[in-house]
Copies of this chain bind each other. A is one copy, B any other.
Amino acid sequence: MSNTKNAYSRANTSFTLDLPEWAIEELNALPKHLVSVEERMAAVIEFSRRNFQNSTGGPFAAGIFERDSGRLVVIGVNRVMPFLCSSAHAEVMAISLAQKLLGVYDLGAPELPAHQLVVNWRPCAMCFGAVLWSGVRSLVIAGEGPELEEITGFDEGPVHPDWRAELSRRGIEVVEDVLRTEALEAYREFATSQSFVYNARLGVD
């Protein structure tokens, strides 16, 4: 053991996560409102595609919208590899940025309009919980099932077996199979792009 002292500082006890430059430009090019859930999902899928094409993260995006008006709050993308941060999934990025933009930790706060999270597949084991804590009242997904893992090689982990009921019990509606074919097509493009598939260790020593 060393006799030197610990050297923690403000710089090494903070971390910053952000969206890539292209995503800022794309957000500014979008309409302020995306009226249908299909329009919202199409934007999310396009962000997921641009993310791996630009090598700025994995093929996952997540948008936060006002559920009824379709007002765009923000679309986040996966940033695990650029920031070497295993929690920087698209949902965590979108939820955290939306909460910062709106100045709330609860997107379901009584003074706010209802918010909706739109994701290009069912949230993983971690993001299932992040959805619960976010305060969104609506979750729109392109699909669920093994296809994502089979096509891409990404590990989605053990999601709660009663995930739909658990979301419903907390007043979060789930809208499924919105542009499912288009989402899978983007995953196939990812698979053929030979992009790196990161995963945590799978129990091998």
Contact = CB atoms under 8 A, between A and B. Distances in A.
A163 to B, nearest CB: 8
A8 B28 contact: yes
A2 interface: yes
A171 interface: yes
B99 A86 contact: yes
Contact of A130 (B86, B99, B160): B86
Contact of A166 (B2, B158, B200): B158
A158 B160 contact: yes
Contact of A100 (B10, B12, B19): B12
Interface residues of A, number: 80
Contacts of A84: 99-100, 103-105
A6 B30 contact: yes
Interface string A9-45: 1101111111101011001111111000000000000
A169 B158 CA distance: 11
Nearest to A134: B86
B6 A13 contact: no
A118 B59 CA distance: 32
Given A18-B10, A28-B6, A129 B157 contact: yes
Interface stretch (A48-56, A120-128, A140-148, A184-192): A120-128
Given A24-B9, A28-B7, A14 B15 contact: no
A8 to B, nearest CB: 4
Given A6-B27, A16-B16, A84-B99, 17 more contacts: A4-B32, A6-B32, A14-B19, A14-B97, A85-B99, A85-B105, A86-B105, A86-B106, A86-B135, A125-B132, A129-B129, A132-B200, A133-B200, A135-B200, A158-B166, A170-B201, A171-B201
7 contacts: A10-B24, A15-B18, A86-B135, A87-B92, A132-B157, A157-B166, A171-B201
